[in-house]
Amino acid sequence: MSNVEFSPSLMTMDLDKFKEQITFLNKQVGSYHIDIMDGHYVPNITLSPWFIEEVRKISSLPMSAHLMVKDPSFWVQQLITLKCEWICMHAEVLDGLAFRLIDQIQDAGLKAGVVLNPETPIEVIFPYIERLDKITIMTVDPGFAGQRFIESTLDKITALRELRVEKDYRYVIEMDGSSNRQSFKRIDQAGPDIYIVGRSGLFGLDESIETSWDMMVQDYQEMTGKCLG
């Protein structure tokens, strides 16, 4: 039996079926993944803190904001005000900001995370790794759905899992990007705690969210040989 968590990336959901899909997923998942893009760090502009307010109207589940932005300071306080449970910032833009922003988030009773791009080594976050609640490994380049899975990124997940045991760190490990039938087995072998699932792994499998969920679970179980539970 597997204890991994699947966290849907709401950027890839069918917004025409917003209430229907969230209502169903509320009974299946433990959290939601909210991509916030500023059009500068990545060229797209997607969800915003406003979207979190809309989800809260029909869900009490924790939400994790993934800040794909050039100026995380601008967004962090907005998310703290909304009491977004997880606030995750790209390590690549945290030089000179990391300790202050992590403290700001955690002092508010929320959880702080960092995200690493495929080419960013885990050593970059070693100065503050012991403070982190979550580390997200991008298994695709950030900013676009439907990209090719970068298998070499899984080595970072394995290394972080081993380091967590060795140093007794508290962070959870999350993977983000092209989590689907073709990659489930390789991801499972690396051993993250949380899988972000989007269009290719969940929302794009069928027009019905119920059928899509069942297909995703079947894909995971067939490819890994593990039952979810």
**SS3 of the chain: helix, strand, coil, percent, to 5:** 45, 20, 35
Q: What pLDDT sits at residue 2?
A: 78
**Is 146 among the annotated ligand-binding positions?**
yes
β-strand pairing of 32-37 with 5-8: unpaired
**Is 229 among the annotated ligand-binding positions?**
no
The CATH number for 132's domain is: 3.20.20.70
Render pLDDT for 46-80 as a digit per residue (tens, 0 to 9). 677 889 999 999 999 999 999 999 999 999 999 99
Backbone region of residue 227 per phi and psi (left: phi > 0; alpha: psi in -120 to 50; beta: other values): beta
Q: Is residue 132 part of a domain?
A: yes
Q: What pLDDT sits at residue 172?
A: 98
**Residue type present at position 14:** D
- How far is the C-alpha of 53 from the C-alpha of 206, rounded, in Å? 27
Sign of CA dihedral 209, 16, 143, 171: negative
Q: Do the beta carbons of residue 176 and residue 33 sit within 8 Å? A: yes
Quick one: average pLDDT of 103-113?
Answer: 98
Q: What pLDDT sits at residue 38?
A: 81
Q: Is the pLDDT of residue 39 over 80?
A: no
Render pLDDT for 77-94 as a digit per residue (tens, 0 to 9). 999 999 999 999 999 999
Using CA atoms, how far residue 127 sits from 111, 122, 161, 172, 229, in Å, is: 18, 11, 17, 17, 35
Q: Is residue 229 part of a domain?
A: no
Which residues belong to the active site?
A: 35, 176
Instruction: Quote the pTM value.
Output: 0.95
**Is 178 among the annotated ligand-binding positions?**
yes
When divided into structural domains, the chain yields a total of 1
Domain that holds residue 114: 5-224
Q: Is the pLDDT of residue 223 over 80?
A: yes
Render pLDDT for 121-174 as a digit per residue (tens, 0 to 9). 999 999 999 999 999 999 998 866 656 899 999 999 999 999 999 999 999 999
